[in-house]
Structures are given as C-alpha cells and as structure tokens.
Structure 1
Amino acid sequence: MLSMGNTPIFVADCLGIDISTIYCYRSLYLEGGLDKLLENRYRGYQGLLNIFQIESLKQELRTHLYTDAKQVSQWVKDTFEVTYTPQGMADLLNRIGFSYKKTTEVPCEADPLKQKLFVEALSKILQEKEEGDVVYFAGGVHPTHNSRSTYAWIEKGKEFQQPTVSGRDRLNINGLLNAYDVTDVIALDCECVNAESTKELYELALKKHPNAKNIYIISDNARYYHNKELQNWVEDNRIKQIFLASILSKPQFNRALVEILRKKGNQYGFLSEQDRIPRCYKEFL
C-alpha cells in the first residue's frame, strides 16, 4: 500500500494498527524482504526438557510411584542434569497430563486370566437371560455412627464446633443395586448382615418383581451367602445366585454408598441417638 503512494497514516487506519508499526514493518521489508518481515521472533517458552525427555519422564511416572514433586525433581536432575523446584515440577506435571491423586487399590492375588474367564461366563449368562429378568449386585455396608468434620462457610478466625461421639457403633445395611438401573436400590437396615437378613433382603426383591421369571443376584463370597439354609431356600425360588470369582474384588458400589451416606449424614448435624441415624439414611435410600 505504501508503494502505491498511500501515506503511513492512511495505511495504519486501514489496517487498524499503530503508525509506528507501519514504519517498523517497512524497515524490516527494506532490510531483508518478505523473509525478514515474516520472521517469527516471538516463540513461546519450551521448558527445560525437550520432547524426548518429556516422554521419558512420562514413562517413568507410568511405571514407578512418586509421592511428591520433590522426588520427581530429583529423578529429573539425576537423569537429565536439569534442575526443577518442587513447584516448577508440579506445574510441569500438570501441563503434561498428570495430577496428584490417590492410587487405586486392587487385590494383589488377582489373576487376569481367571478374571477374563469369569467375565466371559457372566456375560453369557446375562446375554441369555429372558426378557423381564432382573440383575442385582449384592453387598453389605457398615457406616460408622458418627458425625464427621466437613468443609463449610465459617467466619474467619472463628471455629464452628461439631460434636462427635465415640464412633464405636456401626449401622448394618444389606443392599441390592440393579445392574441396569442404578436408581433401583433395595436396602435393608438390620441388626447384622448375615444369612437371615440376606434372605429377608431377597424376599424384598421377589416382592418388588413379582413378574420376573428370574432374579439374578451377583455377590462376593462372604460366608453368609454360602449358608446352606439360604442356598436351599434360593433353589426353591426365582433367585439365581452368582458368586464372584474369589480373585475378584468386591463391587465398588459398597464404598461409594458409604461415602454418600456419610456426606448425607453430615447435613443432619450432630445425632446423638443411634436410632435416629437409620431414619435419616432411609430418607436417602
């Protein structure tokens, strides 16, 4: 545009940029042509590690456990002779896709092959089940009878005291969770999770699904599930008991339910009488 006789002010107004920028671009062009004008001199910070070192760090973190950023910084220093502060390393780890979280517990004796065979057998059973059949996961939970400290909006410099009890007493909840509808929960508040309460729980399932030809119940290998009287009763009813292979862990919904109950219980504040606890939990269940 300048070569066409236009003034720098006119060009700046047309392009919406400062007039000094026009003079700067003109000088660069006269100095080295288009190559000089288009030269990228503003490159972002690439970090202290190159892409190959980053990949090596990722592989190290995938195969070894580091519990804090300081340990990772030490490994990087020993391996690449590059120094990071713990905070700098934490920023790097977040940037490359890692977060600080708890490890996942798995049974140390787990056998992948046996797990695969069990899952295949279970899948076949579920695929061949008749229309209208119901599938439940069974499990017992034992939340502690106590309030827990939690986060809330509290005046700065002040404390909001929350009374607690000894926490020695526990609730006993025997339950079933529908494998295809997680909103379908059958829960039984009982004195003890045993064969007797399990039979009572199964009876609730039979009553809830009178038209189901079969009710499949998948459980772990707790002793009360193998009770002879319970198994004899199961054989005479529409219940089809399926036991998890011994190398498989318990269904994780047990832990999730306990955590939900704890959070729900905190909303009620301090509950000193044990018989009040089941009532507030039943409102949730």
Structure 2
Amino acid sequence: MELTLSPTEIEELRKLQRNLQGRSDYARVTCILMLSMGNTPIFVADCLGIDISTVYRYRSLYLEGGLDKLLENRYRGYQGLLNIFQIESLKQELRTHLYTDAKQVSQWVKDTFEVTYTPQGMADLLNRIGFSYKKTTEVPCEADPLKQKLFAEALSKILQEKEEGDVVYFADGVHPTHNSRSTYAWIEKGKEFQQPTVSGRDRVNINGLLNAYDVTDVIALDCECVNAESTKELYELALKKHPNAKNIYIISDNALYYHNKELQNRVEDNRIKQIFLPPYSPNLNLIERLWKFLRKKVINTGFYRNKTEFRDAIRNFFDNIYTYKKELESLLTLNFRLINSQTISF
C-alpha cells in the first residue's frame, strides 16, 4: 500500500506524534507515518495493536481530508502545539486586545508562532486555557481609576476601624420593568423554548440597602418613587432595625436625592454615616450584584400576566431572601475590580 508524503507533511506528523505520545490519537498519526515509510498494512496493524481494517480506515481519512479529517479536528485544540511560553503570550494578547471570533485568534497565532489552528480547534484551546466567549463589560468612560483607588483605600480604613456592632450598608435604587425578556438557558438543540411576553411598561420602584456582612439583611422599600423622601424612610427602617448600632455606614452613589439638604440634615442628627462612591463607579457598589441576581432569578425568567403578579414576585424574592443565602454568600463578597482591572478585597 503506497502512501507518499512530502517532507513538510512528514515533519508536521512527526511533531504531532511527539505531542500526542501516550494519547488516543497517537496510533492514528503513527499509522500514517509507518505507511509512508513503505510498511505493509498488516505490519502496521501488528505493531500498533489495531485491526487491519482500522489501518485502511485511517489511510482513507487522511487521503480524504488530511489531519483535520484523520483526527476529526481534535488535535487542533490540543494545547501541546504551543509551549507554555507561547500559551502565556497568547493569554496576554487576549487580555490586552479584543478578538471577536476564534478565526482572528488563529490568524494571530499563525502569524506569531507559525502554528496553524482551525477556528474550532482554537475555540477548544481557548476554553482549555481559561477563556470563554461572552459579552464585554460596559464601563463608563468618565470613571476615574485614581479616584476609585483612593476611595478603596479610604473605605478599607473605615472598615478596619469600625466598632463592634457597627453596620455597613450599600444603597441603591432599582426599577424593574414589567416586560418579559428573552434570556440564556439550556435548551435542546434544534428546538425553541417559547416564553410568553407582555408589552407593558409599568415599573416597580425599589429603594434598597444591602448589609455588606450579612447577605440576608436586605431592606427593600417598594415605593412610588426613588427620591429623597423614600430614602429618608429607608434610613429610618435601618435605624429601627439596628437600635444598638453606634454607627450605620451607608455607601451610595452620587444621585441627587442622596445629597438632598433635608436628608443630609437628618443624617447629621443621628447614627447614620453617609459615604459617597466616586462618580461613575457602579463596579464598587455591592448592591448592583444583588439587582443582577434579582433579574436572573425573578425578572428575566418568569412570566407575570399583570403588574400585580410582577410586584408580588419581587416582594416574595426579598421576603424569602434567606433561601438564596448560599448563592448570595459566594456572589456578594467584598471583592471589587477597579476600572484599571486591579482587584481589591476588604
């Protein structure tokens, strides 16, 4: 059985053979190499411990589509084609430059290291080395990395020096809209999972506080409007809930109602200590993660015929927040990523 290969093809197979030694695809590659050296199919089968029909099948696959067909694209995702230094270079490239598809990454690898990957093989490799295909994160261009860093340092000092029994809340308002949305879920291939929708635009306004050290301590005020008046009521609820706390720290953004003169006068006259986040810094507000969790569990995955059902579902979420304690404890940690990608922990 004659099988003639070019020196380039032989070198590619040799390189792949070394990388695959001890793996299931090793026999496939070695089979082709042995045939190219003039060995008979019977001899190849005996040496590799495979059936002679398998030798013929490997040969046919290779002649039909080369390595891609022989290995069914599996070898292209094998990390061994790149050494550890090349892998690290690839990681750094992906951390600093945006590639929107695997084909672009494959081209960069080919241009840089002279190693060829199919797009599917590259996608497999990227998954193996810790990358996934997902949406980019929107970051306000007005955010100031230095201000965020200084705030983090100041907050760290406050948290370290707070007295026993002091409470730390993160504050924010959220405005869920009664309007069903499509979401990501595990759905059978080739099938649709239809979700009823409504065309309503009614909103539920929630003014909320989240305890930085107790994920089940959430004060959610269902109000007509998130403003200075409802915020004042929210603060009163916090004072009532923690009568023995010497200080109640409330960390919020710079919405105008937090700076309301009457509210500030009220804050100055009691145990509440208001701390303002730097401008455009939702990434530093822990309660933003709770709102995202609310959308995932209630807003985007359920169908509510009318606004009353919608509001009841949201209220039920907060009334039974303890049922999500385990999930929230892993989500609502005091770990934050600054705009400059630096991670801080309190």
What TM-score comes out, normalization by structure 2 length? 0.56
Alignment of 1:51 onto 2:51: no
| Count of aligned pairs between the two proteins | 265
Mean Cα displacement is larger for which, 31-40 or 217-226?
Answer: 31-40
- Whether contact under 8 Å (1:147, 1:271) holds in the other structure is no
Q: Which has the larger radius of gyration?
A: 1
Q: Residues of 2 paired with 1:36 and 1:151: CA distance?
A: 33
- Whether contact under 8 Å (1:164, 1:270) holds in the other structure is no
Mean Cα displacement is larger for which, 146-155 or 122-131?
Answer: 146-155
Q: Post-superposition shift, 1:182?
A: 1.3
Q: Do the aligned partners of residues 142 and 268 (structure 1) sit closer, same or farther apart at CA in structure 2, a change above 3 Å counting?
A: farther
- Whether contact under 8 Å (1:143, 1:258) holds in the other structure is no
- Whether contact under 8 Å (2:207, 2:234) holds in the other structure is yes
Q: Residues of 1 paired with 2:323 and 2:197: CA distance?
A: 10
Q: Residues of 2 paired with 1:111 and 1:63: CA distance?
A: 19
- Give per-residue Cα distances to partners, 1:69-99, cap 9 Å, x unaligned: 0111122233334332110111122233322
- Whether contact under 8 Å (1:146, 1:271) holds in the other structure is no
Q: Do the aligned partners of residues 68 and 268 (structure 1) sit closer, same or farther apart at CA in structure 2, a change above 3 Å counting?
A: farther
Instruction: Provide the aligned C-alpha RMSD in A.
Output: 9.9
Q: Post-superposition shift, 1:202?
A: 0.5
Higher helix share: 2
Structure 2 gap ranges (5+):
1-33, 298-319, 328-346
Q: Residues of 1 paired with 2:256 and 2:284: CA distance?
A: 20
- Whether contact under 8 Å (2:206, 2:221) holds in the other structure is yes
Q: Post-superposition shift, 1:235?
A: 1.1
Mean Cα displacement is larger for which, 95-104 or 178-187?
Answer: 95-104
- Whether contact under 8 Å (1:144, 1:169) holds in the other structure is yes
Q: Do the aligned partners of residues 267 and 155 (structure 1) sit closer, same or farther apart at CA in structure 2, a change above 3 Å counting?
A: farther
Q: Residues of 2 paired with 1:234 and 1:45: CA distance?
A: 61
- Whether contact under 8 Å (2:172, 2:287) holds in the other structure is no
Q: Post-superposition shift, 1:230?
A: 0.8
- Whether contact under 8 Å (2:171, 2:287) holds in the other structure is no
Q: Do the aligned partners of residues 19 and 169 (structure 1) sit closer, same or farther apart at CA in structure 2, a change above 3 Å counting?
A: closer
Q: Residues of 1 paired with 2:296 and 2:67: CA distance?
A: 65
- Whether contact under 8 Å (2:223, 2:230) holds in the other structure is yes
Structure 1 gap ranges (5+):
245-249, 274-285
Alignment of 1:3 onto 2:50: no
Q: Post-superposition shift, 1:238?
A: 1.5
SS in 2 for 1:268: helix
Q: Post-superposition shift, 1:164?
A: 2.0
Q: Do the aligned partners of residues 269 and 68 (structure 1) sit closer, same or farther apart at CA in structure 2, a change above 3 Å counting?
A: farther
Structure 1 segments of 4+ aligned residues over 6 angstroms from their partners:
1-46, 151-160, 266-273
- Give per-residue Cα distances to partners, 1:148-177, cap 9 Å, x unaligned: 345789999986654322242221100000
- Give per-residue Cα distances to partners, 1:82-121, cap 9 Å, x unaligned: 3321101111222333222233333333333322222222
- Give per-residue Cα distances to partners, 1:111-159, cap 9 Å, x unaligned: 3332222222222222222221111000001111123345789999986
